[in-house]
Chains A and B, each alone.
Chain A
């Protein structure tokens, strides 16, 4: 639990201070999402859902859009990823990348669609369709590093069973 909090706070700080400012990428990589998905991949659906909800709430509070949207999306994304993870006995090196890419695409599309439905003038369907694959790609690039870091540190701190 403490480790998850640490990861989320770090992710939000790095996201805001560095990644979100790299506008030349077009849409920016979503480090907070990748961290939530990595926690879900390491710890399963419950950890995924809870950390997704908490991280989403923090992101919502720091953004100017309606409160609760990211919390909803990240919570579901974390839970779904954790659930999928439980079908595997062992994760190969590439599995996290594929799962993160798919989950990122789904979560970004879901988030954009929710914002659009709530009348956010910044979302245009065509723009969203162009952004989704790019966010998925960026997140997939981050995935192996973030997952290795999350699972590595968690294993070191708690070498026994998984946290939840």
Chain B
């Protein structure tokens, strides 16, 4: 049963030695590692494969992700039942297309409101390692992606680009322990750093320690490495250790990192907007109109509510699977950012929509 064990041992030794050499070189060189090019080629090679597998397995992944969200299962079941009575057959396909379409539409409105010029991309893979929080998206240097660009989806900040290959790039998620984002509290403006804790809530260290922090208050990026004004999360709790120069705030991210799909990579901000335009306005009693309820479901094929004032959103286009966004006046430009509830108060108010160019 034992075969040629000397040859096996020699080869094993050789491979272990090679690994250790690679580890040493890569660890010592850090950011200037000679293997960066090799990593890029690996991304270029695997990108298309992962893209294919990802699109084939997307319904499976979506189904599994839905199972995980106990709260949303009920909603999903209701939605599916309604669809079954309305449309016979093809529910699954339609459902997925509908979801993609709505997601694209929501993202269009979002980047339009924030006046960002963006590159759209789909998440095709997550890091194969169990110890890092990165994802691969299907846009690379061929579409003008560079490192350090901010990545967002229609809910808020996703992360930033850390590695670019020909057709794909790697995004470090905001929840990764290595991620650190300069941020400020909405309305009041105290600044600090948001860091990730893996799957747990984000930590926001804000100075001064006496800063007044309310539950539900949004936290946004400030412009340094990241594009300014992207919502990160809302305040859950805060505490200040006695004598500490900062206050430690727990944030619940707006983005659901467990089912990332369509994202937008921000190339630049078109023009200055109200810095808080992407979060609900400060809840003070006012006569502003209330946020109308989101349209429950937009049937594919009736895409009349597509944000066509989206000329300013530059390169962002609908994903191939969704119906093309038509031209013509948009009946509703009111943002429908359901995941961002205004802090504590009713009535919540709407930020005035960005002026159409």
Q: Which residues of A contact B38 (CB under 8 A)?
A: 61, 67
- Interface with B: A11-19, A95-103, A149-157, which one? A11-19
Q: A10–B188 Cα gap in the complex (Å)?
A: 51
**Which single residue of chain B is at the shortest CB-CB distance from A22?**
B64
- Which of B27, B43, B65 has most A Cβ within 10 Å? B27
User: A121 in the interface, Cβ–Cβ < 8 Å?
Assistant: yes
User: B8 in the interface, Cβ–Cβ < 8 Å?
Assistant: yes
User: B142 in the interface, Cβ–Cβ < 8 Å?
Assistant: no
Interface string of B66-78 (1 = CB under 8 A from A): 0111000000000
Q: How far is the CB of A90 from chain B (nearest CB, A)?
A: 11
Q: How far is the CB of A98 from chain B (nearest CB, A)?
A: 19
Q: A23-B199, A76-B16 are in contact. Are A64 and B8 (CB under 8 A)?
A: no
Q: A24-B68, A86-B2 are in contact. Are A72 and B19 (CB under 8 A)?
A: yes
Question: Is the beta-carbon distance between A68 and B7 smaller than 8 angstroms?
Answer: no
Q: A131–B21 Cα gap in the complex (Å)?
A: 28
Question: Is the beta-carbon distance between A69 and B23 smaller than 8 angstroms?
Answer: yes
Question: Is the beta-carbon distance between B65 and A22 smaller than 8 angstroms?
Answer: yes
Partner of B8, one of A13, A45, A65, A76: A45
Q: Which residues of B contact A68 (CB under 8 A)?
A: 18-23, 26
Question: Is the beta-carbon distance between B12 and A79 smaller than 8 angstroms?
Answer: yes
User: B187 in the interface, Cβ–Cβ < 8 Å?
Assistant: no
Q: A60–B257 Cα gap in the complex (Å)?
A: 23
Question: Is the beta-carbon distance between B131 and A112 smaller than 8 angstroms?
Answer: yes
- Interface with A: B47-55, B225-233, B273-281, B321-329, which one? B47-55
Q: Which residues of A contact B133 (CB under 8 A)?
A: 122
Q: Which residues of B contact A76 (CB under 8 A)?
A: 12, 16
Q: Which residues of A contact B42 (CB under 8 A)?
A: 58, 61-62
User: A129 in the interface, Cβ–Cβ < 8 Å?
Assistant: no
User: A27 in the interface, Cβ–Cβ < 8 Å?
Assistant: yes
Question: Is the beta-carbon distance between B131 and A123 smaller than 8 angstroms?
Answer: yes
User: A46 in the interface, Cβ–Cβ < 8 Å?
Assistant: yes
Interface string of B294-329 (1 = CB under 8 A from A): 000000000000000000000000000000000000
Q: Which residues of A contact B126 (CB under 8 A)?
A: 16, 20-21
Q: How far is the CB of B41 from chain A (nearest CB, A)?
A: 8
User: B163 in the interface, Cβ–Cβ < 8 Å?
Assistant: yes
Question: Is the beta-carbon distance between B131 and A115 smaller than 8 angstroms?
Answer: yes
Q: How far is the CB of A49 from chain B (nearest CB, A)?
A: 5
Q: A122–B179 Cα gap in the complex (Å)?
A: 10
User: A140 in the interface, Cβ–Cβ < 8 Å?
Assistant: no
Question: Is the beta-carbon distance between A20 and B22 smaller than 8 angstroms?
Answer: no
Q: A62–B46 Cα gap in the complex (Å)?
A: 8
Q: How far is the CB of A112 from chain B (nearest CB, A)?
A: 7
Question: Is the beta-carbon distance between A75 and B19 smaller than 8 angstroms?
Answer: yes
4 other A-B residue contacts (CB within 8 Å) besides A16-B53, A59-B128, A61-B43? A30-B130, A58-B42, A68-B18, A86-B1
Give 25 A-B contacts (CB < 8 Å), ordered by A residue.
A13-B52, A14-B57, A17-B61, A18-B61, A20-B125, A21-B126, A21-B259, A24-B68, A44-B3, A59-B128, A61-B35, A64-B127, A64-B163, A65-B132, A67-B33, A67-B38, A68-B19, A89-B1, A108-B130, A111-B130, A112-B131, A122-B131, A122-B198, A127-B198, A131-B130
